Amino acid sequence: MSKLELIRHLYGYNEWANSKLLDAASRVPAEQLLDARVASWGSLITDLAHIGGAQAVWLSRWQIGRNPTSVIGVQGMTTLDEVHALFDESHAGLREYVSIITEDAVESELDYSDSRGNQNRRPLWQLMTHVANHGTYHRGEIAGALTSLGSSPGDLDFVLWELGIR
Amino acid sequence: MSWIEHLRAKIAYNEWANEKVFSAADSLSDEQLSAERTGTSSGSIARDLAHLVRVQGWWHSVAADTAFEPPDDPPPDGAMPALRERLAGSDADLRELAASLTEESLDRTIQRTRGNETWEWSQWQVVEHLLNHSAHHRAEIGQALFGLGVSPGDMDFIFFLRV
């Protein structure tokens, strides 16, 4: 297997796990999604939007070398419908991106500027790995909070996705 | 460069991130560690830390095709020294596994039977799952630690690469 094939597996899993989280969030009253505190970004809505916002911002850096909007700019949402729309667009973009990039591109060093305008240079595979891991981390925070509210997203194990147990 | 590089980098990251969580937990009292807490998978921070290490150990045994002896629950008093010892052993096992990975081993099919069910995975699926599982539970534990005022700090893969 190549790094690119591995990354494709990780992004398939990422989309599945995000969808499970959004389903669980849809069973929680809207005011609780705004009130419940999570460690990283405040409310559940904001933490969910942070995952989708990071996906969108990093995809933009990979495609055009910069992000026109910061993650903090993207994640200022107040409804689950807005978050759903963000994920729908982001997942479609990532699906297309991982289907068309090449092995050489994944190994290549990418120049990009971050939200503060700092110039960075990293192999693309490291950045794509970061985004997949970032999603797992924040899903862990959100899953704990959703479970406390009586709406567990269920098992989000990578092997379940790989075995087709969904 | 091969995908082995990807997995080795993530195994090293896993050890770095585990240390951040355990370092934050070191400052808690035994009462805080063992207190029942919503949002944790196993009911308390100590049991969640034990779960993280135990599951790392179990999946490592699958990936390395070795026997696994499930440890007892951590003692209510002095949980952290016991958990730290287990973590050190688990992280060392994973380092050894990382060094042993080959193209052939990663594609090798592994079977495990539990009860009446037999499961089959490739070694790479087991390793990715192990790492993903630990990241998920570090976040849950991090959330509980944050609530007690002892955040483990940022655990982003990209920050690890800059260290």
Predicted confidence at residue A122, as pLDDT, reads 94
Total domains in the fold of chain A = 1
> What CATH number has the domain bearing residue B36?
1.20.120.450
Is B150 near chain A, with CB under 8 Å?
Answer: no
Residue whose C-alpha is closest to residue A49's, from A68, A26, A29, A77:
A77
Is B148 near chain A, with CB under 8 Å?
Answer: no
- Yes or no, beta carbons of B41 and A122 under 8 Å apart: no
Confidence of residue B90 (pLDDT cuts 50, 70, 90): very high
Q: How far is B40 from chain A (nearest CA, A)?
A: 6
Residue A148 is nearest to which of B13, B39, B106, comparing CB atoms? B39
Predicted confidence at residue B79, as pLDDT, reads 85
Per-residue H/E/C for chain B: CCHHHHHHHHHHHHHHHHHHHHHHHHCCCHHHHHCCCCCCCCCCHHHHHHHHHHHHHHHHHHHHCCCCCCCCCCCCCCHHHHHHHHHHHHHHHHHHHHHHCCHHHHHCEEEEEECCEEEEEEHHHHHHHHHHHHHHHHHHHHHHHHHCCCCCCCCCHHHHHHC
- Yes or no, beta carbons of A137 and B135 under 8 Å apart: yes
Total domains in the fold of chain B = 1
> What CATH number has the domain bearing residue A86?
1.20.120.450
pLDDT in tens, chain A (166 residues): 888 999 999 999 999 999 999 999 999 999 999 987 775 778 999 999 999 999 999 999 999 988 888 888 888 888 999 999 999 999 999 999 999 999 999 999 999 988 888 899 999 999 999 999 999 999 999 998 898 889 999 999 999 999 888 7
**What range does the domain containing A24 cover?**
3-162
Predicted confidence at residue A87, as pLDDT, reads 97
Our CA dihedral for B44, B127, A21, A40, rounded to 10 degrees, sits at: 60
pLDDT greater than 90 at residue B76: no
Residues 66 through 105 of chain B touching chain A, CB cutoff 8 Å: none
User: Could you tell me if A86 and A53 are in contact, meaning their C-beta atoms sit under 8 angstroms apart?
Assistant: yes
B20: which 2 tokens? Answer: 């951040």
- Contact list, B119 vs chain A (CB under 8 Å): 163
Q: Measured in whole angstroms, how far is the alpha carbon of residue A112 from the centre of its chain?
A: 19
User: Could you tell me if A4 and A104 are in contact, meaning their C-beta atoms sit under 8 angstroms apart?
Assistant: no
Predicted confidence at residue B136, as pLDDT, reads 95
**What range does the domain containing B50 cover?**
3-162
Mutation pick from A7, A16, A136 vs chain B, by most beta carbons of B within 10 Å, is: A136
Output the pTM of the full model: 0.93
Confidence of residue B1 (pLDDT cuts 50, 70, 90): low
Q: Which residues of A touch B (CB under 8 A)?
A: 1-3, 5-6, 9-10, 13, 38-39, 107, 122, 125-127, 129-130, 133-134, 136-141, 143-145, 147-148, 156-159, 162-163
- Yes or no, beta carbons of A136 and B136 under 8 Å apart: yes
Question: DSSP character for A68?
Answer: S
- Yes or no, beta carbons of B142 and A129 under 8 Å apart: no
User: Could you tell me if B136 and A140 are in contact, meaning their C-beta atoms sit under 8 angstroms apart?
Assistant: yes
User: Could you tell me if B64 and B118 are in contact, meaning their C-beta atoms sit under 8 angstroms apart?
Assistant: no
Contacts of B33 (CB under 8 A, 6+ apart): B25, B44, B45, B46, B49, B79, B80
Predicted confidence at residue A39, as pLDDT, reads 58
